[in-house]
Structure 1
């Protein structure tokens, strides 16, 4: 008897199978692209992936497919719409989606993927809840900002805050003299955004992009953005802590270089994105967070296929999950 012929798969089914990412295909957070800023587009999911539709009078509607599995963070400006299916795909691929304000200046909300492990969240929580450990990490953060050769052991936070204020002020004065722009004062006022000078506009725009990247790295590690060590009382306290490590190197010099720009916000985002390729910021963020939370050990991101939910034990710390422990009873 001849077996019935197998029905060939439909085109849409074959496309979905070919484009569906496997665990082995997903990049580590340190290897991911930095961020994608989307402006006045419609984002939706089709049979082959997530795409952005751009409509203009000159070219009509154009479709651009997004590399969801390689993106760490997506910034959505007002005027951008996204479907639930597209958001689901971003979540499955570990991409943080942030709703930003006009010009990418503010972060209104974020949709973060489910963390694969709580290893770093547990370390962060234990350190945050212990005043001695929290102070040591805060001191280490200030030491990273000050540079090599600056010891902060035994220095109280009040003095460290004063040292940080002097450092930033001196950095502003140095760059102001370098670019011959006279006296500079940092100002951020969303209510009078359009009246601010190009340096402040560029700095706010670049900092928001930096916050998005840091936020994506923190959540990808499984940490809580709300539990900061220097900052406190905000859902992005740790984001501000980590972002402050890089501003003097990345966003502040960039902003001053755009002092004569006619569109400093857009130029800041484009230039910042180009610099990220040079500085390889995401691997640095991941390494810095791990070293701050556990300075004596180097960790590799575990293989997601090997991760199971453990069971807490007051003596052993953790016992394997996915196991029937009833057989061990007498």
Structure 2
């Protein structure tokens, strides 16, 4: 029996930067397969080819089937595969990092492990979300109060801008249709933003679970990142979709959000924001300022004094220094 594919793994240099990719592609009621380095979507209208290396996140909606070769090429290209349930109220994702370096996830872990630096990153996240707010010295309770106030202001502002009536935020986990049109749009926008954020986090090699605002969930950091753009990108797209009518709000929200993400270059901005929040400049201590960029593909061994030495060697009879 032959193997599924004998093609070697692509190096980071051969792959599109996550900031240059499409935000997401949504598919439903089709079969997803692989054709060389592309994936194909086959439905009643025929076959559509999608270059896999240009996708940030592939959203697989109801009625989709995906083959093993398709998942193999998506994983190799670092694209997140997100299974989305009916109306987008379920979420499952996975992906492979575009980087071979652990520098960014180590910076994330160091910032997360210390309570003071963890709070400082959370304050920086709120400064990004709400420009003009002074978060210096704010407690977590004060930050949460700020968030609640600014979100209510955002909902009222978007309601006035679009003419869509707004009462309050309601999310019915088991019944998407129970919410009114703007609530359905906000829910659909949130799910898409989680997929996009997860794609960027996975591509950069960060840990989805080490959050600075959210905690206790396997995607805490993903939720942190997605929320950075909630009031600027996600909520306005949801209200724009709801303003067009009460039918098919979820699909219109996805299209409006996709257009906003691509127009504003959000993926590239997301990469820059994550690196700035984690104070990551592309180097790791202990390696004499060695570059740890996305093309780095080297394994080291840890020695005393936080010194890193080259892997693949036996140090049994020779000094490390």
**Do the structures match in fold with TM over 0.5?**
yes
* Residue-by-residue CA offset, 1:44-72 (whole Å, 9 max, x unaligned): 124564211112xxx4xx11112111112
Equivalent residue pairs, number? 306
Deviation at residue 326 of structure 1 after TM alignment: 4.5
- Find the structure with the greater CA-based Rg: 1
**Partner residue, 1:277:** 262
Matches within 5 A, 1:1-330: 23-47=12-36, 49-55=38-44, 59=45, 62-107=46-91, 109-114=92-97, 116-147=100-131, 149-260=132-243, 261=245, 262-294=247-279, 297=281, 302-304=293-295, 306-326=296-316, 328-329=318-319
CA distance in 2, matches of 1:48, 1:319: 36
Contact 1:142/1:152 (<8 A) preserved: yes
CA distance in 2, matches of 1:314, 1:184: 60
Contact 1:291/1:298 (<8 A) preserved: no
CA distance in 2, matches of 1:298, 1:315: 21
CA distance in 2, matches of 1:246, 1:160: 16
* Residue-by-residue CA offset, 1:159-198 (whole Å, 9 max, x unaligned): 1111111111111112223333344211110323213211
Q: Which runs of 4+ in 1 moved over 4 A?
A: 19-23, 298-301
Higher RCO, 1 vs 2 (CA within 8 Å, ≥6 residues apart): 2
Specify every segment of 5 or more residues in structure 2 that has no aligned partner in the other structure, as ranges.
1-5, 284-290
**Partner residue, 1:13:** none
* Residue-by-residue CA offset, 1:49-103 (whole Å, 9 max, x unaligned): 4211112xxx4xx111121111121111121111111111111111111111112
SS across alignment from 1:250: helix
* Residue-by-residue CA offset, 1:99-155 (whole Å, 9 max, x unaligned): 111122321x222115522111111111111101101101111111110x4321111
Specify every segment of 5 or more residues in structure 1 that has no aligned partner in the other structure, as ranges.
1-15
Contact 1:176/1:184 (<8 A) preserved: no
Contact 2:101/2:294 (<8 A) preserved: no
Between 1:125-134 and 1:171-180, the stretch displaced more is 171-180
CA distance in 2, matches of 1:234, 1:47: 36
CA distance in 1, matches of 2:186, 2:70: 31
**Partner residue, 1:10:** none
Between 1:282-291 and 1:95-104, the stretch displaced more is 95-104
Judged with a 3 Å threshold, the aligned counterparts in structure 2 of structure 1 residues 155 and 277 are, in CA distance, closer, same or farther, namely same
* Residue-by-residue CA offset, 1:180-231 (whole Å, 9 max, x unaligned): 3344211110323213211111111111111101101001111111110000
SS across alignment from 2:260: helix
CA distance in 1, matches of 2:240, 2:189: 12
Deviation at residue 253 of structure 1 after TM alignment: 1.2
Judged with a 3 Å threshold, the aligned counterparts in structure 2 of structure 1 residues 181 and 132 are, in CA distance, closer, same or farther, namely same
SS across alignment from 2:269: helix
Contact 1:217/1:282 (<8 A) preserved: yes
Judged with a 3 Å threshold, the aligned counterparts in structure 2 of structure 1 residues 225 and 134 are, in CA distance, closer, same or farther, namely same
